[in-house]
Amino acid sequence: MDQAVTQRLTRRHFFRDCGVGLGSVALGNLLGRDAQAAVDRSLNPLAVASPHRGARAKNVIFMFMAGGPSQLELFDHKPKLREWHGKPSPDSFFPKEKSFAFIKKGAKILGGQQEFGTHGQTGVEISKLLPHLASVSDEVCFLKGMVTDVFNHGPAKLFMNSGFNAPGRPSMGSWLTYGLGSESQDLPGFVVLQSGPRGPRAGNALWSSGFLPTSYQGVPFRGTGDPILNLTSPKGFDSAKQKDFFDLVGKLNRERLDITGDPEIATRINAYEMAYRMQTSAPELMDIESESKSVLKAYGAEPGKNSFANNCLLARRLVERGVRFVQMYHTDWDDHGNPNNYLGAPLEKRCKEIDQPSVALVNDLKQRGLLDDTIVIWGGEFGRTPMGEERKNLTGRDHHISAFTMWAAGGGIKPGAVYGKTDEFGFGVVDEKVHVHDLHATLLDLLGFDHEKLTYRFQGRDYRLTDVHGHIVQDILA
């Protein structure tokens, strides 16, 4: 699967231009099963494909906490911050080459106010704001040495999702569906679910397919009403008329595809056919009232409501139905401060919204036998500074790229592990650093790919999710 779609189509054009018929039987006889598979994917870009080697996982659920959760209030307990509260930061925090989004040299240390407890066999420290997560600490791998390159929200979100800080590159979900296809016949291979007060900065560029064919882009589902706009047929347009229309358009598109080999035509064909099937599958998917009362209670889900809890339950239902990559965005983690309350009430509210349902998702997947081959990830685009940021009567934390925490579970990730150590202030990583490119390389490895070989040729260059970087973090693999 390390050949680009364009390369597969080139082989298809060779037989067309030589006058050889393009029927699947003829190509199958001429080229064997490999050629047949290539034709199948050129006509159906989401047809299931094999990775480079045996995979430990086949699905990913990424719970993206947009805004940058404070690791210092949630995961990385630093008593030193309380000792130094209100004192000027060490000069070493502000070297010439270091930049922050807002704070300047001389910013004072901000002591944490949250209580922590010790949990699990590893004795991992977790904030009292996340009691549900504490209960499954032995299922989770905490990555406390995460680092990234970009300190502004939009570019940082793009970097975490695509490995690049500007629009135009394929997102993680797009690379995965490009590499593996999708096991779902009735739903997209890559689905996006959103909750929180607003959408994430950078918008749909976060789930774009970039220069990959648009079959691989993420499809946002709405939490209320029709899951996808314009999915329902207009009044008076019955199923018979609709089928006739799709059949005619499909025939014309296939004829054009045979002439040009344009992968975007294959995308159009697939989109029409998928939309037709989704008129039945999407409403059934969104009907969480069919779940038992005990399941709804475990997630804290409420039918008909747009919430992170509902989206966690939908994520499990999507994976059950063969969707390859599910990404949930929950916004408003940008804690620059609150009046005389440091990182208090808003952070507590966000934690309460996500703690129970995210853990219910892990437990539910495990109970149903789905966690073994599903990677669950939780985290944002960066962390927060140990220094305080003051805005008039507000005191909070600035964006921080040099140390933050994410967690992952399932799909070959080592359970009950803590990887990464920061200094006594939580300012920098002192051991077991994991760069965003390393995270991407490790995820692709778990999914059966050599991250250096999952490539797509564009403008004369072979691109990949990890660009020219990335190392597999072997120590977090089970």
Asked if residue 266 is part of any domain, the answer here is: no
Is 359 found in the same domain as 329?
A: yes
pLDDT at residue number 309: 98
Asked if residue 113 is part of any domain, the answer here is: yes
pLDDT > 70 in the chain, percent: 85
Average pLDDT, the chain: 87
Q: How many whole angstroms separate alpha carbon 38 and alpha carbon 12? A: 8
Is 128 found in the same domain as 18?
A: no
Give the gyration radius of the chain's Cα atoms: 24
Q: Let me know: does 436 contact 156? Beta carbons within 8 Å.
A: no
pLDDT at residue number 31: 37
Mean pLDDT in residue range 88-94: 92
Q: How many whole angstroms separate alpha carbon 143 and alpha carbon 286? A: 33
pLDDT at residue number 49: 94
- What is the tens place of the pLDDT at every residue in 262-312? 777 777 777 666 666 777 778 888 899 999 999 999 999 999 899 999 999
| 104 vs 392, higher pLDDT | 104
Asked if residue 49 is part of any domain, the answer here is: no
Q: How many whole angstroms separate alpha carbon 53 and alpha carbon 57? A: 12
Asked if residue 265 is part of any domain, the answer here is: no
| 76 vs 45, higher pLDDT | 76
| 244 vs 181, higher pLDDT | 181
Alpha helices in 201-323 (DSSP H): 239-260, 263-286, 293-299, 308-320
Q: How many whole angstroms separate alpha carbon 116 and alpha carbon 123? A: 11
Q: How many whole angstroms separate alpha carbon 114 and alpha carbon 93? A: 23
pLDDT for residue 229 is more than 80:
no
Is 338 found in the same domain as 189?
A: yes
Least confident of 3-17, 68-82, 104-118, 185-199: 3-17
pLDDT at residue number 392: 73
Is 168 found in the same domain as 135?
A: yes
| 230 vs 31, higher pLDDT | 230
Is 93 found in the same domain as 24?
A: no
List Cβ neighbours of 67 (8 Å cut-off, separation of 6 or more): 153, 331, 332, 333, 334, 335, 380, 381
CATH number at residue 451: 3.40.720.10
Mean pLDDT in residue range 456-464: 96
Is 161 found in the same domain as 73?
A: yes
Asked if residue 243 is part of any domain, the answer here is: no
Asked if residue 159 is part of any domain, the answer here is: yes
Least confident of 48-57, 286-295, 332-341: 332-341
Q: What are 62's strand-pairing partners? A: 327, 377
Is 119 found in the same domain as 27?
A: no
pLDDT for residue 19 is more than 80:
no
Mean pLDDT in residue range 349-358: 97
Is 90 found in the same domain as 65?
A: yes
Is 62 found in the same domain as 37?
A: no
Sheet holding 338-339, edge to edge: 338-339, 394-400, 383-391
Asked if residue 219 is part of any domain, the answer here is: yes
pLDDT at residue number 152: 96
Least confident of 55-59, 334-338, 412-416: 334-338
Is 120 found in the same domain as 91?
A: yes
Asked if residue 4 is part of any domain, the answer here is: yes
Is 152 found in the same domain as 37?
A: no
Is 337 found in the same domain as 365?
A: yes
How many domains is the chain built from? 2
pLDDT at residue number 247: 75
Residue 467: give the domain boundaries. Answer: 58-234+290-476
CA dist list (Å): 75 to 30, 119, 378, 427: 58, 12, 12, 14
Structure pTM?
A: 0.87
